[in-house]
Amino acid sequence: GESVGLHLPTLSVQEGDNSIINCAYSNSASDYFIWYKQESGKGPQFIIDIRSNMDKRQGQRVTVLLNKTVKHLSLQIAATQPGDSAVYFCAEAKGNTNAGKSTFGDGTTLTVKP
Amino acid sequence: KAGVTQTPRYLIKTRGQQVTLSCSPISGHRSVSWYQQTPGQGLQFLFEYFSETQRNKGNFPGRFSGRQFSNSRSEMNVSTLELGDSALYLCASRAGAAWGNSPLHFGNGTRLTVT
């Protein structure tokens, strides 16, 4: 599908800084969006999700922003820590029963420098 | 509550062989999905099972199949293995449709190497 917005495959930040990871999704009909974190040797781990009737959702140190007009999703991590170093994936799903069939983005590798 | 458990952790097989991978979902989760992860293609959806029925299927050849048992445990099978099947196979469970959209909870995967 068409890609809009800036997606970086890698991101390097200083410990304590804020991180912003961007994702362009492809299906305008998608109504459920999820961010996952994958550490080396492990499966993806759920971070935060957002439904299409919202444009912002906050968790502990993380915020997800959704812009449906340009099909763009972002994950903000406040006060980034070395333990945040991982690959981050956005995922999209359509319909109430289809989150099991999520479509994943390419992933962004976040490196936190001490 | 125990997480998603996948066995075995590593497998080495030869071209032409078949393989069966196993997944035990989180207790109470009735939906199990399988994904293939490779460096080139990323995370690709294989199929999803809910209450022993295949609910969704991805774009993989018929050599890839799966099933789910009455206790929600799931297996996937790949027949006539090809070199390109080398990948990390991830299983994920979720609470299911009755609870609306909910995120996937992944196991740590089975690393399959085909030689």
Chain B residue nearest residue A47, CA to CA:
B103
pLDDT tens profile B60-71: 999 999 999 999
Report pLDDT for A101. 87
Chain B residue nearest residue A101, CA to CA:
B45
Chain B nearest-CA distance from A98, in A, is 8
Q: How confident is the model at residue B24 (pLDDT cuts 50, 70, 90)?
A: very high
Buried b (16+ CB within 10 A) or exposed e, B81-108: beeebbbbbbbbbbbbbeeebbbbbbbb
Q: Contact B108/A43, CB-based, under 8 Å?
A: yes
Report pLDDT for A4. 32
Q: How confident is the model at residue B95 (pLDDT cuts 50, 70, 90)?
A: confident
Which chain A residues are closer than 8 Å to B103 by Cβ?
A: 34, 36, 46, 49, 99
Nearest CA to A66 out of A58, A81, A55, A77 is that of A55
The identity of residue A100, as a single letter, is G
Please give the average per-residue pLDDT across A7-32, as a whole number.
Answer: 92
Residue corresponding to tokens 């050599």: B63
The closest CB to that of A99, out of B104, B106, B109, belongs to B104
Chain A residue nearest residue B111, CA to CA:
A41
- Top residue of A46, A47, A48, A90 to mutate, by most chain B CBs within 10 Å, is A46
A106–B contact, CB cutoff 8 A: yes
